[in-house]
Amino acid sequence: MIVASSTCRVCGATEHTLVVERVKDWEYGVEGEWAYRRCASCGLLQLEPFPTVEDLVEAYDVDYHGYRTTAEKGRLYKLLFDVKDGLFKKKIAKVIPRGAALLDVGCGSGEYLRRMSFLEPSRIDGIDFNETAVELARSKGVNCFQGIFPDYPGEPDTYDAVFMNNYLEHTLDPGVEVEKALRLLKPGGALIGEVPNFRSVDRKVFGRYWGGNHVPRHTFQFEPGSLTALLERAGFQDVRTNQELSSNHLTLSIQNWLQRKTPDLAANPRITHGRTWYYNHLLLATAPVNLLFKLAGRSGVMKFFARKAG
């Protein structure tokens, strides 16, 4: 089925408004300019023009930060990550049983699943379409499927938890993705993930330079309301969104703004793995500002939690 660019891929509605235009790939310099359209019916924000699968494969064929490990991202990054990770594990331990069967959709290097080993999981499965990511995940002992989630041959009622960290915003149809997660979860199982928050203060302030845009890889954008509605339409219960303490998108927005005039973004000498040398310093410096945004319910990153009926 060919879906016209002006049609919402999730609900099929055509009525929409353009929210932000002339967005570029400030980090990796993939050629083109994009906009986000807000669907008048379901409220989801969809990239316009919508990339083909071939375009997307090419867009990840860069020195992509998502395939680096935390340690490779620098000591400061790792320090911040470890503090947050400790808090997150405490929360996870309350909602996922020991010996759980886990699936990480868009598992990247497999690092996140390895960090869940404190749960002594009975099964750690992952999915990623990138060959490098799959190799890295397998080297960490993750049972990794190479491909996209809709093609994953998982059995229904298999997992206690499905993770979608920084994943839904990369997909061709988030509705199909969350419906599949619901099928694969055991009754009472949890879907846990993280997405950029399009309703954040940094999004409002930085517009086309916002770090969460990340075009053309971020094909969809979410706000607390539209994400909750998406999960509830799929059949999930107990849906919650939480504003995350994360200055990633705020920091990336500043980096994008500072790098915006670089003549050749694809060969920007100041950028390695999509990041400048000052990125980690800015992460720390902007953390107090992000804390204020979080407290106002408008952080650049949000987590979500949803449960399959038990």
Q: Does an H or E element contain 241, and which?
A: strand 237-243
Stretch that binds Zn ion, among 13-21, 132-140, 212-220, 296-304 (CB under 5 A): 13-21
Residue closer to Zn ion by CB (options 15, 31) is: 15
Beta carbon of residue 7, minimum distance to Zn ion (angstroms, whole number):
9
Pick from 7, 11, 19, 60 the residue near Zn ion by CB under 5 A: 11
CB 48, min distance to Zn ion, A: 13
Binding residue count for Zn ion, defined by CB under 5 A: 7
Residue 275 DSSP one-character state: B
* Minimum distance from residue 37 beta carbon to Zn ion (Å): 9
DSSP one-letter code for 110: S
Among 8, 96, 133, 161, binds Zn ion (CB under 5 A): 8
- Residue 41 CB, nearest distance to Zn ion (Å)? 5
| Gap between the Cα atoms of 49 and 150, Å rounded | 22
Minimum distance from residue 43 beta carbon to Zn ion (Å): 7
Q: For residues 246 and 301, is the Cβ–Cβ distance under 8 A?
A: yes
Whole-number Å distance between alpha carbons of 248 and 250: 6
What's the closest the beta carbon of residue 15 comes to Zn ion, in angstroms? Answer: 9
Residue 302's DSSP bridge partners are: 195, 243
Determine the interface stretch with Zn ion among 31-39, 56-64, 175-183, 253-261 (rule: CB under 5 A): 31-39
Which CB atom, from 42 or from 284, has the smaller least distance to Zn ion?
42
Minimum Å distance from CB 70 to Zn ion?
A: 35
- Span interacting with Zn ion, options 33-41, 63-71, 284-292, 294-302, rule CB under 5 A: 33-41
Closer to Zn ion by CB, 38 or 307: give it.
38
Nearer to Zn ion, 8 or 201 (CB): 8
* 34-93 positions binding Zn ion, by CB under 5 A: 39, 41-42
Closest to Zn ion by CB, 34 vs 64, is 34
Q: CB nearer to Zn ion: give 34 or 279.
A: 34
Q: Which helix (H) or strand (E) holds 270?
A: none
Closer Cβ to Zn ion, 10 or 252, answer by number: 10
Residues 6+ apart with CB under 8 A from 29: 264, 265, 266, 267, 268
Long-range contacts of 287-295 (CB under 8 A, 24+ apart): 287/80, 287/245, 287/247, 289/247, 289/250, 290/245, 290/246, 290/247, 290/250, 291/245, 293/200, 293/201, 293/202, 293/243, 293/250, 294/243, 294/244, 294/245, 295/243
Asked if 249 and 301 touch (Cβ cutoff 8 Å), the reply is yes
Residues 131, 154: Cα–Cα separation, whole Å: 20
SS3 98: coil
The residues of the shown chain that bind Zn ion, judged by CB under 5 A, are 8, 10-11, 13, 39, 41-42
